[in-house]
Amino acid sequence: MSDENDIFGEDDVELPNDEAQAEPVAEEPEQVEGTASVEPSTEIEEPQKVVPMNALNEARMNERQAKQELHQMKQQMDQLQGMRGELDEWRKSQQTQTQQNDEERFNSDPLGALRDDIRETREMIQNKDQATQQHDAQQQEAQRVVTQAGSLAKEFAESTPDYGDAFEHYMNTRKQELSVYGLSDQEIANTMDNEAYALSANALAQGRNPAEIIYGIAKTRGYSTKNAPIASDEPTPKIENIEKG
């Protein structure tokens, strides 16, 4: 027995002490029945934004001013609406008063009222006659311009054999210009007739030959005796055929 003790060294071996070597165990907190466990929050609270006092005051002032302007506009609209209503009432009253005056005039003085009606009718007829006469005078003046311009064009053509080619070049280039503007064929024809009449009237007022002016314009637009006239599918109107409506 002594040998075995020597081999294993029982005398030198210390047996572990369970109580001394046991590590302390942390006690878990008791959880009350019916309540959930609260875990610590890991979210970071953002700092609350603070509006500067100056900006806040300015915003309030702008809002107050906008409300005042809106209120003023509403008052103005109400005033305008009221004025419009008053104007309508005044017009109705004037019409009613005029009718009443006419009736009273007719009842008190039938012959006088009849004479007034006849006078007003005559004035209307005279005004219409004046308008008709003015229209007739314009028609006669237009016919005079067309006739005189046509006669001068014939005289110029006799002394300038290529006037017909120059005139055709003038008309065709002008048609092309107006078509670029997007005008329809009818609009182009009306525009050219009006331009030809205005050119003729101005030339005659200055004591000039309209055909000579057209010949010069054709040259500025590239016409020369060496150049053939620009082809056109439409008939070319002549100055002597212009009709002023």
More confident residue, 104 or 201: 201
Average pLDDT over residues 77-91: 81
Measure the CA dihedral 94/97/103/106, to 10°. -80
Specify the pLDDT at position 91: 79
Write down the pLDDT at residue 172: 94
With a pLDDT cut of 70, the percent of the chain lying above it is 69
**Token pair listed for 208:** 């000039």
* Cα separation, 156 vs 143, whole angstroms: 20
Structural domain boundaries of the chain?
129-241
Residues 153-193 pLDDT 10s: 999 999 999 999 999 999 999 999 999 999 999 999 999 99
**Closest among 121, 143, 103 to 240, alpha carbons compared:** 143
pLDDT value, residue 40? 53
Q: Residue 228 to residues 116, 159, 162, 165, 231: CA-CA distances in angstroms? A: 70, 20, 11, 8, 9
Query: pTM of the entire structure?
Result: 0.44
| Token pair of 87 as six digits | 């104007």
Neighbour-count burial of 232, counting CB atoms closer than 10 A to its CB (0-12 exposed, 13-18 middle, 19+ buried): middle
Give percent helix, percent strand, percent coil of the chain, each to the nearest 5.
Answer: 70, 0, 30
136 contacts 245 by C-beta, under 8 angstroms = no
> How much of the chain, in percent, has pLDDT values that exceed 90?
33
* Pair 135, 189: CB distance under 8 Å: no
With a cut of 50, say whether residue 239 has pLDDT above it: no
State pLDDT tens for residues 104-122: 766 677 777 777 778 888 8
Alpha-carbon dihedral angle through residues 116, 121, 126, 129, given to the nearest 10 degrees: 180
Side chain identity, residue 146: V
Half-sphere exposure of residue 226: CA atoms within 13 angstroms, side-chain side: 1
Taking only the tens place, the pLDDT of each residue in 29-56 is 555 454 445 555 555 555 555 667 887 7
Q: At 245, is the pLDDT very low, low, confident or very high (cuts 50, 70, 90)?
A: very low
